[in-house]
Structure 1
Amino acid sequence: MNFESKIELIDGVGKVLASRLKQMGILTIKDLVYHFPYRYEDYSVVKKINELNHEDVVTIKAKVELIANRRSWKKRKVVTEAIVDDGSDRLKIVWFNQPFLIKNIKAGDEIFLSGKVEINNYGTQMVSPSYEKSTSKTIHTARLVSIYPLTQGITAKQFRFLLQKVLLIIKQTKEFLPIDIIERNDFFYLNQALEQIHFPQSHDSMIKAKKRLQFDELFLVQLRIYQAKMELKKSNAPRIKFLEKPTVDFVKSLAFELTTDQKKTAWQIIQDMEFGKPMNRLLEGDVGSGKTVVAALVMQNVILNGYKCIVMAPTEILATQHFETLKKMFDNHFRVGIFTRSQRIIGTESLNKNLIKQKMKNGEFDVVIGTQALIQESVEIKDLGLVIIDEQHRFGVGQRKKLQDKGQKLIPHFLSMTATPIPRTLALALYSDLDLCIIKSMPKGRKQIVSRLVEEINRVKAYDFIKQQVMDGRQVFVICPLIDESDTLGVKSVTAEFKKLTEEIFPQFNIGLLHGKLKSEQKDSVMQGFINKKIDILVSTSVIEVGIDVPNATIMMIEGADRFGLAQLHQFRGRVGRGEHQSYCLLFSDNSGEKTVQRLKYFVECKDGFELAEKDLELRGAGEVYGFRQSGMPEMKVADLLDAEMISLVQTEVGEFFKNNKIEDYPDLLNLFRQKNIIIHFE
């Protein structure tokens, strides 16, 4: 057997166990070995029975004097009781609902017992301890014992047994890191790290194993990013000169004053395109910080240099919004178009599919905004100079590559925009292929959104407040976490909430319903109705569009707020507060747990999206916050994306590696590198 062998080949893995392991994504021995513990029980302290104290978490080694089952008269449970003796004293052991133990443990057996000690009026005892025969090498007792995230029907003990059976394969694991990196950083070899993460000899060896495996995860990602960045530097892109007068005129024509951050980021982007090498930037700005006008400034410079621009939006509604905004900003100086499922326009001319494709091929446009329809292989684009993608994490790399392929001989410049703040350490670890520019300050005169965590006792007051706002001509979002009723989670469903608000609470108002199960046309119709003020209250799941602009909406009411992460709550909050009226974000939660309440109160007090993103990353991890599994980013099993020191070390080592080596000289590393197929943000 080896790492690629199927899990069924391990002795004792039958169809049922294999099926349960597959539910956890464990199909091969490698999957099993790379399913790491999430914590450890410390049973390394071994004591004599006469040394035990109340609530000690310890191991004892003792001989079984007697063991028997009995029925508990109250709850009809099977109770297994044993008396053990280690020569210093005797101790009572109790297990519940494990009648089979009397077959495994016999009087006269010498065993290890690990668990918590209880001392009460009835004497000293251990309840439900782990046990192991003293004749075997301990993996469940008398050491640091690994605890795993598991599915129903698999126990931690069972999982450790499986790992013990493949220990020989673990010991034979091939090393892929260059030896000088291992020696320079005093790392474990890979086989040592994998053994010690599952069966650590000590706390120090567990920490050392984790450090090596964290390094590996980040090293492979950074290696791919660094290599791709070097490749990109060899490519050529349009040389876009900075045209000062038109830029100054454009800024003067705006109805508002640009913030310092907007000016700075626009200048960074414009400068980047002057050198004839492909720009690859991420423009990060909190909700409502004014990224679109920065993009417009940059696009004008590209167009006046004789090149074309494309703006990709994740949805048709957002594409339409960008189309209307840019037409207004450019004031008919440029040919602005839109290419979506239902709209094909350049300037004021509506076109059929073939005609708009022909015009794009001939270069008879300046900027086109589109959705997936733009990435069709049959769409050719003449003189493509700049690709802008709004909310970049919503697009896969395959789609990005198709867009850049349309640039023909020269690679177009690439600007990605997101309103999801990315913490610095995460940006360094996973987005270092993109040069970051950040808009932190908000436009002048924008009112702070008032946020409140509303207790259930005040719900009627909240409804009265909403009623008054709607009567004053304002609009309201109501967000719910699930589509269908779920009694087990106790979460309000969007359909039930819609019914309640329509029939009981606000029968006098027009209420719309939006969720992921609606067809695209239905979603667009509902959203357009809200934008056009035909809908007063919109009840929606989290599908509510990122970046959608409804200046008349002043209340964001979030049911089951505890079900959303801080970053997502902040995105919801950013849907309001875009007009002249004071806006409000009202949170409701059925969960009164201390941690939940603290987290939601933190959100209410904190208005900074970057701070909230940092906190969210700390609490939930990058996979949850940024959806990396969906976006193609690697899943980090052990790497801590808040560990700036480790990320810095990895980047230093990757730089050193490419300075002195070629990846082709390390076949095992190259093989792993190819297997990982790590996705980056450009091709």
Structure 2
Amino acid sequence: MKGKLAETTVNFVKGVGPRRAELLNQLGIFTVQDLLEYFPFRYEDYRMRDLSEVSDGEKITVQATVYGAPYVQMYGRNKSRMVCKVIVSGMPVNAVWFNQHFLRERLRPGVDIVLTGKWDARRRQITVAESEFQAGKNRQTGRLQPVYSVSGDISQKWLRKVIKQALEQYGHLIEEVLPAELVHKHQLLSRREALFGVHYAENIDEGQAARRRMVYEELLMFQLKLQALKAANKNRKHGIAHPIDRAQVEEFIRSLPFTLTRSQQEVIDEILRDLREPGCMNRLLQGDVGSGKTVVAAAALFAVVKAGSQGALMAPTEILAEQHMRNLQRMYEPFGIQVDLLVGSMTEKQRRDVLASLQMGITDVIVGTHALIQEDVYFRRLGLVITDEQHRFGVNQRSILRRKGMDPDVLTMTATPIPRTLAITAFGDMDVSTLSELPKGRKPVKTYWVKHDMLQRIIVFMGKEMAAGRQCYVICPLIEESEKLDVQNAIDLHAQLQQAYPDFRVGLLHGRMPAAEKDEEMRKFKDAETHMLVSTTVVEVGVDVPNATVMVIYDAERFGLAQLHQLRGRVGRGEHQSYCILIADPKTEVGQERMRVMMETNDGFEVARRDLELRGPGDFFGTKQSGLPEFRFADLMSDFEILELARDDAADLIQRRDFWTSPEYAPLREMLQREKVLSGDILD
């Protein structure tokens, strides 16, 4: 499987011509192996049901017979609504199609048809999503159907057909990659059975068994990489054993205008212990918004510089890099530590000067964006690499920066709270430090949930705050109007608020703006040139504006709890009382509960726990914001037990001599070789 099918391009599958192959390439499908491992994210139940079993508003699949001529109503630009009388379970029912009037000629009285759609009991009406005529030999209905992520001109129906064809053509070449002992130990399906079962499960149990096999395989491969790297790193003693002077670090901590929390002190102690060791530190620092990760990073960089090395701090945006640079300069001023900035928008002369200073060792700490990883950036003696909001960088970007030194120590930071046991298992090659408390003196943000009809009172309240010299964020979910969602959008809202506040400057920030424009808008807000910032969620991470005291979130029910908490963390950073106002009319109990959770707690770990309860494990870590590795098939929360099994099995295998020699383990060794794990690089 890993050999021949991985080398056979997808255009060898019957029915895939050059144009279709290009479309599949856009989905990341290049080979037959890619196609067979393109897994569905859920299943649709198309099994036939009787109307008497169905609740109002439920999605159903039913057998119907046409008994009336269809009526078509055209509206808008080429839009249509077609209604046809059908008999279902002996009852006359209206079937309604939108924009499918091309079916009109086929809907003749007496014709049998299978309908899938939403049942409206009051109107006795099915709004049809899919329909199939009985004559079709490849009927999709009447069974479970896989649902894939598709885009452009690729339809679900065509992709199902092509995957089925690939299984028929190449299924006999699928080879087992797991050793027999593990397949037997965990009562797993064979790889061939699982791949057939994933795409064409006869029932839910069969689909779950197939998925379990593929999840275990994926997590075992992941854990083998982590365990192999961890073992390799423990054996590598050619990192930098920094001669840390604890007294100097204590002097730096005493110079700060605030007292560190107990949690910050403990984490700094853990990092200093790592820095003294000859092995390479590979530590994850996680902490809630505002927990003081930057100060911990500053203490680590200070210790390394005083021990004779240079430090690098990489941030995802220029404005965040500038903020870090200014903070470090302020903290290091009494100690003569040179901090410089390297970002893409600098002039050629500025850049040359910084590069020269860095290479000669005049620069002690360099702060920058991905500009730090360009080829012509050289260090004199790089000893510590820190990445902020590490999930915003690709693995390659982080590893390139690390390779600019001779095995420097690595600290990665994330503001997304992750349960500690999960973090330790998921980041098996990393040690995990957690900042579990907020700095003293920080006033909790007061959070309110209001309905849309309170808008005028909110406008008055924000006006008072701005008149008192404060600033406000206003967040909404979409950039511009959408036919599908009736939600406020940033562009319209910006225009409305400009009219509402003629005496104040209102800025606009959204994801479709060029990076330079986004940075400029954020800089204006940070420097108080604009009083209010209307934005999509691009402000979620990073920039510190202590003068901002109000965070208003429109259509708050459209956001997840973790995202709402991150947004709330943008205020409450200064001396004045701050407020988070959630404008929402949630229709579901889950939406209402989210609003209640936000009002009840400011604790990010509690928010994360409640978020997991509400959203279920399926999509808690589905966002790229989590900072956790992304998987094709596994879900780290719902599959946590399988993750632990895989971790234990991987740790056992890596330590066994026969794992490195026996033919039974050859596929697993080849995977480690392919992933370049055995070359000694550290996995991010």
Matched, 1:581 2:576: yes
Matches within 5 A, 1:198-217: 198-217=199-218
Tell me, yes or no, if the aligned pair for 1:289 and 1:440 is still in contact at 8 Å: yes
State the SS of the aligned residue for 1:543.
helix
Q: C-alpha distance in 2, partners of 1:204/1:554?
A: 52
Distance 2:48 2:88 in 1: 21
1:151 positional shift: 5.4
What residue number does 2:78 align with? none
2:416 alignment partner, SS class = coil
Tell me how far apart the structure 2 counterparts of residues 564 and 152 of structure 1 sit (CA, whole Å): 26
- Relative to structure 1, the CA distance from residue 214 to residue 132 in structure 2 (aligned partners, 3 Å threshold; closer, same or farther) is farther
| Cα 1:568/1:95, change in 2 over 3 Å | closer
- 1:53-452 aligned at under 5 Å gives the runs 54-55=53-54, 70-72=68-70, 77=82, 140-141=141-142, 144-148=144-148, 159-168=159-168, 169-235=170-236, 236-341=238-343, 352-407=350-405, 410-424=406-420, 427-428=423-424, 430-452=426-448
Could you list the per-position Cα deviations for residues 615-667 of structure 1 after superposition, in whole angstroms to 9, with x for gaps in the alignment?
26747736752258xx9954433444443211100101111221221289544
Contact persistence 2:417–2:608 (CA under 8 A): yes
Structure showing greater Rg: 1
Which segment drifts farther, 419-428 or 93-102? 93-102
What CA distance in whole angstroms lies between the structure 2 residues aligned with 1:600 and 1:663? Answer: 57
Q: Distance in 1 between matches of 2:586 and 2:457?
A: 20
Q: Give the drift of 1:206.
A: 2.5
2:605 alignment partner, one of 604, 610, 617: 610
Amino acid across the alignment from 1:35: Y
Q: 1:533 aligns with which of 523, 528, 534?
A: 528
Checking the alignment, whether the CA contact within 8 Å between 1:237 and 1:276 is kept in structure 2 is yes
Task: Indicate if the aligned counterparts of 2:343 and 2:372 stay in contact, CA closer than 8 A.
Answer: no
TM-score by length of structure 1 reads: 0.81
What letter corresponds to residue 417 of structure 1 in structure 2? M
Q: Which moved more, 1:1-10 or 1:174-183?
A: 1-10
Match of 1:262, SS state, is helix
| Structure 1 residue 426 displacement after superposition | 5.2
TM-score, normalising length: structure 2: 0.81
Deviations 1:379-423 (A, max 9, x none): 22122221122222222222222322222xx31111112222234
What SS does structure 2 have at the residue aligned with 1:364?
coil
Deviations 1:152-200 (A, max 9, x none): 8777665544444334323431111122111111111100111122333
- Structure 2 Cα separation of the partners of residues 77 and 148 of structure 1: 28
Which has the higher mean CA deviation after the structures are superposed, 378-387 or 522-531? Answer: 522-531
Distance 1:226 1:490, change over 3 A: same
RMSD: 4.5
The aligned counterpart of 2:641 is: 645
Contact 1:140–1:157 (Cα < 8 Å) also in 2:
no
Within-5 A mapping of 1:548-567:
548-567=543-562
Which residue of 2 is the match for residue 87 of structure 1? none
- What's the counterpart of residue 478 of structure 1? 474
Q: Which residue of structure 1 lines up, in the alignment, with residue 566 of structure 2?
A: 571
Whichever residue aligns with residue 285 of structure 2, its letter is L
Change (3 A) 1:247 1:163: closer
Distance 2:517 2:414 in 1: 26
Matching residue's letter, 1:556: M
- Identify unmatched segments of 5+ residues in structure 2: 74-80, 98-102
Sequence identity (%): 33
- Matching residue's letter, 2:374: Q
- 8 Å CA contact 2:284, 2:432 repeated in 1: yes
| CA shift for structure 1 position 449 | 0.6
Q: Is residue 337–residue 344 contact of structure 1 (8 Å, CA) maintained in 2?
A: no
Give unpaired runs (5+ residues) of structure 1: 85-89
Amino acid corresponding to residue 319 of structure 2 in structure 1: I
Give the direction of change, closer, same or farther, for the CA distance of 1:456–1:681 in structure 2 (3 Å limit). Answer: farther
Number of equivalenced pairs = 653
Task: For 1:94 and 1:154, locate their aligned partners in 2 and report how far apart those are by CA, in whole Å.
Answer: 30
Provide the rounded CA distance (Å) in 1 between the counterparts of 2:116 and 2:511.
Answer: 48
Query: Matches of 2:392 and 2:201 in 1, distance apart?
Result: 40
Q: Secondary structure at the match of 1:238?
A: coil
Is the 8 Å Cα contact of residues 66 and 111 (structure 2) preserved in structure 1? no
Residues of 1 paired with 2:580 and 2:676: CA distance?
A: 42
Please state whether the residue corresponding to 1:71 is helix, strand or coil. Answer: coil
Please tell me the residue identity of whatever aligns with 1:257. Answer: T
Question: For the structure 1 residues 320 and 658, does the alpha-carbon distance in structure 2 shift closer, same or farther, using more than 3 Å as the test?
Answer: same
Inter-CA distance 129–366: structure 2 relative to 1 (3 Å threshold): closer
Task: Give the secondary structure class of the aligned counterpart of 2:311.
Answer: strand
